[in-house]
Chain A
Amino acid sequence: MVTTRRPATGGTASARRAVEVAGRVRDPEMPMLTLADLGVLRGVEVVRDAEGGEVVIASITPTYTGCPAMATMRDDLVHRLNDAGFARVEVWVVLDPPWSSDWISERGRAALRAAGLSAPGPAPRRTGPVPLTLGPPRSVPPCPRCGSAATRLTSEFGATACKALYRCTGCLEPFEHVKEI
């Protein structure tokens, strides 16, 4: 377990720089997004250990439990922060509250659309048991290429855990949609 640490004093400039450096790290699977825009970067702080040495603690949360990109995110954060002069970096995992697609920033949504991906709508807010859905989805996202509302779900599982596959019946192009969770 991690030893008790006290917050860095007089290190606010350094903390701001760490936030800025970590904020530029991109998602390995959807590189049009930064980890911050995807909403998986949950915090960056600079603390001091018992000897007074500076340690950056960056916290990330998985989009899906089995997300295989977590190790790459961790490595990328450590390396970019090392490059920026922070010799000691720890990456912590935050599980609670779980990631929601609602945390994707406006800038992130624009980046998804610019890359031909369909951005998620509002995540469902449930109280009580999840209803079983045997029919096709009630609403479908518009085509990110031609804007047509006539699209069809191909599969709720795509090339990465966070995306579903759709096809536009207007322009006939397939597209990926970031799922609402």
Chain B
Amino acid sequence: MNDDHGSIFDGLLGGDSSQWAFGTDFEDPLAGVDTTTPDGVDPAELAAYCLMLGDDALIMSQRLSEWCSRAPDLEEDIALANMALDLLGQARLLLARAAAADPRVVPGLPEGSPVPPEDALAFFRDDRDFRNVRLAEVANGDFAHVVVRLLMFSTARLALLERLCVSRDHVLAAVAAKGVKEVAYHRDWAGRWFVTLARGTEESRRRLLAALDALWLLQAELVAPHPLEHSLALAGVGVDPASLRDPVDAVLGQVLTAAGLDRPERAPLAGVGGRTGRDGLHTEALSLLLAEMQVVARAHPMGRW
């Protein structure tokens, strides 16, 4: 035993994290990256927009992570975990970008807390401060449910990221350029399984149709125009979701045709007083998800992991 340490636990949390397989010390995911807000853009608006895109990825990632060890076979388990990891990476950069644009969005923590801003945003905000679409938060169902949800989510996200590659905000443009390559795989995976289940057995088709019926009413929110997104689109920084409607419809139509299914007839889930997920109006499912996701971090605001 090393004489410098009275206990084997002493020294574990020093400045050197090399003894851990993946390092434990926090690091800035945007170290050295220029995070100046582009000219003519309100930093508060840019931060709110980054939260929308980051929260979509974070909450969807959390739902996909819940599939870990529960998929029908090992390959699909690994696929779902990979997609969760891609989205978590996007969330981390987008939340860090939100904090860099406007530090006022970051919840206050006790002085000396080592929690970095993107973690503070993920683990210390309340449900009403989350800006994700409600499609991302509803509870998991069966395998058909995750396939349908991912198809809708990744189709809209890919169309959005393709357009965000030319954002005047260099961080958003870079996250989008990388994200396009990742989400293209997610959409192909979901599209193939959608067709496979629709054309599989009577039972797989029944389950797919049930999932489609349960989730279709949440699809419209992905492409619903929101004043903030519209404003940032005009500033050359964001993407107006209204511009995604046609390309998203085209891809969903392509998958439905290949699956031999008609487009579902379901009215979109209404907001409350016109407010939806983008305004912080969520379903009960988000509160339960956050309770589980945040409980350990909130119990240890001074913790190092």
Q: Interface readout for A74-110 with B: 1 if CB under 8 Å, 0 if not?
A: 1110010000000000111111111100000000000
A residues near B174, Cβ cutoff 8 Å: 95-96, 98
Give chain A nearest CB distance to B179 CB in angstroms. 6
Interface SS, B side: helix
Are the C-beta atoms of A72 and B21 separated by less than 8 Å? yes
**On chain B, which size bracket covers the interface?**
35 or more
Q: Report the Cα distance A155→B192, complex, angstroms.
A: 12
Q: How many contacting A-B pairs (Cβ < 8 A)?
A: 126
Interface SS, A side: loop
Q: Interface readout for A57-85 with B: 1 if CB under 8 Å, 0 if not?
A: 10100101111111110111001000000
Residue B270 lies at the interface, judged by CB distance under 8 Å to chain A:
no
Are the C-beta atoms of B32 and A90 separated by less than 8 Å? yes
Interface window among A14-22, A30-38, A130-138, A141-149: A130-138
Residue B258 lies at the interface, judged by CB distance under 8 Å to chain A:
yes
B residues near A129, Cβ cutoff 8 Å: 159, 162, 247
Q: Interface readout for B73-101 with A: 1 if CB under 8 Å, 0 if not?
A: 00110110111011111101100000000
Residue B288 lies at the interface, judged by CB distance under 8 Å to chain A:
no
Q: Report the Cα distance A66→B85, complex, angstroms.
A: 5
Partner of B32, one of A2, A98, A154: A2
Known A-B contacts A57-B32, A91-B31; the reply to A69 vs B22 at CB < 8 A is yes
Q: Report the Cα distance A66→B90, complex, angstroms.
A: 7
**On chain A, which size bracket covers the interface?**
35 or more
Known A-B contacts A65-B182, A92-B31, A156-B188; the reply to A72 vs B22 at CB < 8 A is yes
New A-B contacts (15) at CB < 8 Å, excluding given A64-B89, A134-B188:
A57-B32, A59-B32, A62-B89, A65-B179, A66-B89, A71-B22, A75-B23, A93-B29, A93-B32, A95-B33, A95-B93, A95-B171, A96-B170, A98-B174, A156-B189
